[in-house]
Chains A and B, each alone.
Chain A
């Protein structure tokens, strides 16, 4: 189904490729290229200017934005014939004599780059504006950057940075002992704003062979392969065509006991986009070879398209050994739900439906592998290097130590890069051919082939009684896990635990079940099913508050889980349960907004306009780390003989900022400044396992390990210097000074014996959050700590059109402690953008939305003003009291928006996204007043 790359190098066949002459960043360039070769390709492949990124190759994302004669254009849509004689500026041209431009500095100072993949394009879009208008308005900024998509930041900090570019000043690195809590700039930020950061597609060796995956155009079919060897012979440059037979162990999957997804399908495909063959050869040949040329004989089979079909009696099986198409189910039971429902004063019944949602990171999957003796080395964009290592080893039937994963910079993950993509394929090809092999997914391929957020059907009943107390919760959540298991079990387990919401509910029954279908595999996506479940519990809270005649915020405040409360799994919360504090922080703004909204609507009714406003509220809780499973992290801090101070950090920074967080924590624990730290990140040969970047766990788990490692190194230094615990450290080249009151001891590091890494002292820390398994009733301690949050959203609905504009969101989050408030805000703002997309526009339909113009994600102009309030109810287990915030930002947003729409219109929608035609239809179905 992947189309041949008709835009690739074959156009170079035209008329001997006369040189195209043009100016790049002020210097003349001449490139032998066909007039139809696209500028993006020439910049990256011929001129090595890989700061220009390719996110979609179709003009939809803006990642490749450059200036052509001073005007922003997509380099992916600009043919070289139209570049002749003109001037091109790329991100590499923004730095003058090695000094960052004011705009680049502003991006750093404001935290405008997270993963950084959109940053070069964003900088060029903003440069276009700033050269015309030095001090633009916010509206002008939104207009200028509107064509450049960012999936991480929610755009707020980018907008702030562009507005501040004229006046931006550098930010000093925090002094010793004051790193935790500082708005420190990213330790890896300069490369991101300079365009020198190396992502999965940026540093592929020149001699690498290329691999293209041939994928199924059908959701369910059998296939037979004809004479592939004849095809290979007919296409010089095509080295191998890999099939299922070539894979040593042809199954992978997240869970140790569920390796159900083939690397290459073996005679049967179970979803559109499944990998069937891998073509390996020169880039030109594998990209040009059309799928139609390949002898694949398809026998179409009827697909199971959703959970209703999957659960129907006698349904055909997606996987033969999975009766009833059930992947797994989990549940929590406590108290007597039926009795509580029978005695309730108010009962809310809610039915929720959510679709597939695509991660839409701007960097498609990419990487390359090479064989080094009897080892494999894989450079890849990933969220989980150690799991990749073990998984590739399993597929290749090698020992884990024979596989080295070197993570490249990751251009966004959000859970989608927790599963294998290119890794086993490039590994297999490189192993067999003894040459480097690279693979870059196209955008349609990335969208069709990789995992999605689980579509959910949730039935919920919540009950409350006298005193407005919640008494019962009965939730049944069914998920479409697609063709293969991936992270389905995690979703089926996590949702029942969180199903009652962040409230005290004495009687609870919840069930989560995941079913196989012939849809794309559902995997991990920011929140693991909890965002879907939150739509149900928050709709129920609004309904109960309305039935009981109480304010929606106050009803939540009354029932909020607090320290000392027992959750539905029987866990007593001993610390850090700050939902009530979040709601108290929101309360004055909530009351103001209720008044403003009422006044606006009164005016609108009087003037007979079609606009109505509403305000809604959403709350959430989220268990940090894996559910009832060990998930340890180990960190090391090394002090080198030459005075280098190195954090060996196996926690992959996918944009959220963990590289910076870890150094902030380790610096204060050790007592040296952040600025003296060097980072070794992710490489499985050089760092210890810090687990996956998932489940909002890196700050809490790996951060604690970094704190312990820093403290361990400090202890060793103090012992060496025979100094007291309050001694001050100073590192100057290879001399470490330890000052303890009057006593000053200088340690000549060069005189000490070093380990193979050149370190004379190494501090080590390991942390595994304490949890217990859940019993048959789901009772136990699934998580060591929980994040809490509440958000309010104010919307304006156009009753005639059914359109919704989110005007303002106020987000109050209990994060335990904000290690870096700027980055915490960035996580929340980015989460809100994804929550807004979930609520209003995102819906992945296999075969119909496999690009970024049919699958819509929020642009800068879609985002409301966001105010973030950080509540710091410290978690004693966490580093300096910190918990996690990666996923929590997203969870309350959609419920708050849906509540606001209901407040504005009187219509409660629980099917997302609330597309204009759906809202319009719901408004028309509303009894009484028809707009």
Chain B
């Protein structure tokens, strides 16, 4: 049995160096709620664990000229207690706060949820809807990537060897904007989404001027549904526009049949959740 190395660097540069030196056997440890279980199950056997919880940039939330920069390793509980962030991006925060139980919230991070690359990851559809930009650092330096470009398939990302997700940036947005995330599970809490839907929109004088829609658990990756956003934008979020957006969501679905839901069910529910999440986001944005 190979020994597993553990390092807890203070800076991203050191973390990247450690990952690069690991030749692909490095794994980032933030809250560990996915990694430790995968190690125990023998699914992954890393050569080196890079604990990023001591890196300030990855464990803090900053306000940046109207927007927010959220360290990738900030726990869900800390995000949930950030009052201004919650006011600005209630959908993103509620999505992150749906990852696991209260106990998991004390540890799990949005960065980990993204990098685990589950199509059913709760935080990701909301971050996709929010237009979050992911800052990634690797041996070749930093780059910014739209969050929807990170997932490549179940358990796979587009991150290059040695790259680490550093933070998420949520943009500044005009007045009359808000977001919402809804997911369906058969019990009240702690389950993997059967379908998840995030909607972010801006409403001015009763008209939706901008919208983004993210869908989870209905395809191998979390989807950005641009046709749904188009159906909403420019409308007054009337029944016709909502149904057109729901139809776009249903059309985007390529789900699987499994014990949690059938293809037909997931497809139908994607449309239902779109309508409801859009309604909640619109209320939050101050419609009426």
| Chain A: minimal CB distance from B173 (Å) | 29
| Chain A: minimal CB distance from B190 (Å) | 6
| Chain B: minimal CB distance from A842 (Å) | 10
Contact with B42, one of A6, A35, A36, A840 (Cβ below 8 angstroms): A6
Residues in A with CB closer than 8 Å to B188 are 146, 859-862
Report yes or no: B39 in contact with A6, Cβ–Cβ below 8 A: yes
The CA-CA distance from A837 to B264 in the complex, in Å, is 24
Cβ of B60 within 8 Å of any chain A Cβ, yes or no, is no
Give B1-35 as 1s and 0s: 1 = Cβ < 8 Å from A's Cβ atoms. 10111101000000000000000000001011100
Report yes or no: A859 in contact with B190, Cβ–Cβ below 8 A: yes
The CA-CA distance from A68 to B31 in the complex, in Å, is 13
Of the listed stretches A69-77, A447-455, A484-492, chain B binds A69-77
Contact with A14, one of B6, B103, B187, B191 (Cβ below 8 angstroms): B6
Which partner residue on chain B sits nearest A854 by CB separation?
B259
Give A21-63 as 1s and 0s: 1 = Cβ < 8 Å from B's Cβ atoms. 0000000000000111010000000000000000001111010
The CA-CA distance from A77 to B40 in the complex, in Å, is 11
Contact with B29, one of A71, A79, A913 (Cβ below 8 angstroms): A79
Report yes or no: B1 in contact with A288, Cβ–Cβ below 8 A: yes
Most buried by B among A13, A77, A128: A77
Cβ of B219 within 8 Å of any chain A Cβ, yes or no, is no
Give A912-929 as 1s and 0s: 1 = Cβ < 8 Å from B's Cβ atoms. 010111001100000000
Cβ of A843 within 8 Å of any chain B Cβ, yes or no, is yes
Cβ of B51 within 8 Å of any chain A Cβ, yes or no, is yes
Report yes or no: B36 in contact with A38, Cβ–Cβ below 8 A: yes
Most buried by A among B6, B106, B188, B259: B106
The CA-CA distance from A853 to B260 in the complex, in Å, is 12
Report yes or no: A147 in contact with B1, Cβ–Cβ below 8 A: no
Of the listed stretches B164-172, B205-213, B265-273, chain A binds B265-273
Cβ of A627 within 8 Å of any chain B Cβ, yes or no, is no
19 CB contacts below 8 A, A to B, read A4-B42, A14-B3, A36-B36, A62-B101, A74-B104, A77-B104, A79-B51, A146-B188, A147-B103, A290-B42, A841-B187, A856-B186, A859-B187, A859-B188, A862-B188, A913-B186, A915-B186, A917-B194, A917-B262
Contact with B186, one of A125, A128, A803 (Cβ below 8 angstroms): A803
Residues in A with CB closer than 8 Å to B194 are 916-917
| Chain B: minimal CB distance from A164 (Å) | 21
Report yes or no: A801 in contact with B6, Cβ–Cβ below 8 A: no
| Chain A: minimal CB distance from B263 (Å) | 10
Residues in B with CB closer than 8 Å to A554 are none
Cβ of B189 within 8 Å of any chain A Cβ, yes or no, is yes
Cβ of A305 within 8 Å of any chain B Cβ, yes or no, is no
Contact with A68, one of B102, B106, B265 (Cβ below 8 angstroms): B106
Cβ of A137 within 8 Å of any chain B Cβ, yes or no, is no
| Chain B: minimal CB distance from A389 (Å) | 35
Cβ of A848 within 8 Å of any chain B Cβ, yes or no, is yes
Residues in A with CB closer than 8 Å to B268 are 920
Cβ of B184 within 8 Å of any chain A Cβ, yes or no, is yes
Asked if A849 meets B184 with Cβ closer than 8 Å, knowing A35-B6, A36-B49, A146-B189, the reply is: no
Which partner residue on chain A sits nearest B188 by CB separation?
A861
Report yes or no: A77 in contact with B4, Cβ–Cβ below 8 A: no
| Chain A: minimal CB distance from B243 (Å) | 13
Q: Which of B231-261 contact A (CB under 8 A)?
A: 259-261
Cβ of A510 within 8 Å of any chain B Cβ, yes or no, is no
| Chain B: minimal CB distance from A670 (Å) | 46
Report yes or no: B192 in contact with A34, Cβ–Cβ below 8 A: no
Asked if A916 meets B106 with Cβ closer than 8 Å, knowing A3-B42, A35-B6, the reply is: no
Report yes or no: B45 in contact with A856, Cβ–Cβ below 8 A: no
Which partner residue on chain A sits nearest B40 by CB separation?
A7
13 additional contacts (CB under 8 A) given A3-B42, A125-B103, A920-B265: A13-B4, A14-B5, A62-B103, A74-B33, A74-B104, A77-B32, A79-B29, A146-B189, A147-B102, A148-B103, A801-B269, A856-B187, A916-B184
Cβ of A198 within 8 Å of any chain B Cβ, yes or no, is no
Report yes or no: B184 in contact with A82, Cβ–Cβ below 8 A: no
The CA-CA distance from A858 to B194 in the complex, in Å, is 17
The CA-CA distance from A856 to B3 in the complex, in Å, is 36
Give A837-873 as 1s and 0s: 1 = Cβ < 8 Å from B's Cβ atoms. 0001101010011000110101111100000000000
Residues in A with CB closer than 8 Å to B262 are 917, 921
Which partner residue on chain A sits nearest B101 by CB separation?
A147
Report yes or no: B191 in contact with A59, Cβ–Cβ below 8 A: no
Cβ of A800 within 8 Å of any chain B Cβ, yes or no, is yes
Residues in B with CB closer than 8 Å to A58 are 37, 40
Asked if A916 meets B265 with Cβ closer than 8 Å, knowing A36-B49, A801-B184, A858-B187, the reply is: yes
Give A79-97 as 1s and 0s: 1 = Cβ < 8 Å from B's Cβ atoms. 1011000000000000000
Cβ of A65 within 8 Å of any chain B Cβ, yes or no, is yes
Cβ of A685 within 8 Å of any chain B Cβ, yes or no, is no
Report yes or no: B32 in contact with A147, Cβ–Cβ below 8 A: no
Residues of B with Cβ closer than 8 Å to A?
1, 3-6, 8, 29, 31-33, 36-37, 39-42, 45, 49, 51, 53, 77, 100-104, 106-107, 184, 186-192, 194, 259-262, 264-265, 268-269, 272
Report yes or no: B103 in contact with A65, Cβ–Cβ below 8 A: yes
Residues in A with CB closer than 8 Å to B100 are 59, 147
The CA-CA distance from A849 to B191 in the complex, in Å, is 13
Give A280-324 as 1s and 0s: 1 = Cβ < 8 Å from B's Cβ atoms. 000000001010000000000000000000000000000000000
| Chain A: minimal CB distance from B216 (Å) | 16
The CA-CA distance from A128 to B103 in the complex, in Å, is 10
Report yes or no: B45 in contact with A6, Cβ–Cβ below 8 A: yes
Residues in B with CB closer than 8 Å to A79 are 29, 32, 36, 51
Residues in B with CB closer than 8 Å to A74 are 33, 101, 103-104, 107
Report yes or no: B186 in contact with A71, Cβ–Cβ below 8 A: no
The CA-CA distance from A848 to B186 in the complex, in Å, is 17
Contact with A853, one of B29, B32, B190, B259 (Cβ below 8 angstroms): B190
Report yes or no: B107 in contact with A73, Cβ–Cβ below 8 A: yes
| Chain A: minimal CB distance from B164 (Å) | 17
Asked if A5 meets B40 with Cβ closer than 8 Å, knowing A59-B104, A147-B190, A920-B265, the reply is: yes
Q: Give me the 8 closest cross-chain CB pairs, A-B, nearest first.
A: A147-B101, A861-B188, A917-B265, A7-B40, A73-B106, A35-B6, A3-B42, A74-B103
Cβ of A11 within 8 Å of any chain B Cβ, yes or no, is yes
Most buried by A among B1, B5, B103: B103
| Chain B: minimal CB distance from A736 (Å) | 52
Which partner residue on chain A sits nearest B182 by CB separation?
A801
Residues in A with CB closer than 8 Å to B6 are 14-15, 34-36, 81
Report yes or no: A125 in contact with B102, Cβ–Cβ below 8 A: yes
| Chain A: minimal CB distance from B122 (Å) | 13
Residues in A with CB closer than 8 Å to B29 are 79, 81-82
Asked if A143 meets B102 with Cβ closer than 8 Å, knowing A7-B39, A14-B3, A916-B194, the reply is: yes
Contact with B187, one of A57, A73, A845, A862 (Cβ below 8 angstroms): A862
Report yes or no: B102 in contact with A144, Cβ–Cβ below 8 A: yes
Residues in B with CB closer than 8 Å to A915 are 186, 260-261
The CA-CA distance from A78 to B40 in the complex, in Å, is 13
| Chain A: minimal CB distance from B54 (Å) | 9
Contact with A82, one of B53, B259, B261, B264 (Cβ below 8 angstroms): B53
Residues in B with CB closer than 8 Å to A858 are 187
| Chain B: minimal CB distance from A886 (Å) | 25
Which partner residue on chain B sits nearest A82 by CB separation?
B53
Cβ of A10 within 8 Å of any chain B Cβ, yes or no, is yes
Residues in B with CB closer than 8 Å to A6 are 39-42, 45
Which partner residue on chain B sits nearest A38 by CB separation?
B36
| Chain B: minimal CB distance from A125 (Å) | 7
The CA-CA distance from A13 to B4 in the complex, in Å, is 8
Report yes or no: A77 in contact with B107, Cβ–Cβ below 8 A: yes
Which partner residue on chain B sits nearest A4 by CB separation?
B42
Report yes or no: A147 in contact with B5, Cβ–Cβ below 8 A: no
| Chain B: minimal CB distance from A425 (Å) | 22
Cβ of A802 within 8 Å of any chain B Cβ, yes or no, is yes
Which partner residue on chain A sits nearest B45 by CB separation?
A6
Report yes or no: B259 in contact with A57, Cβ–Cβ below 8 A: no
Residues in B with CB closer than 8 Å to A125 are 102-103
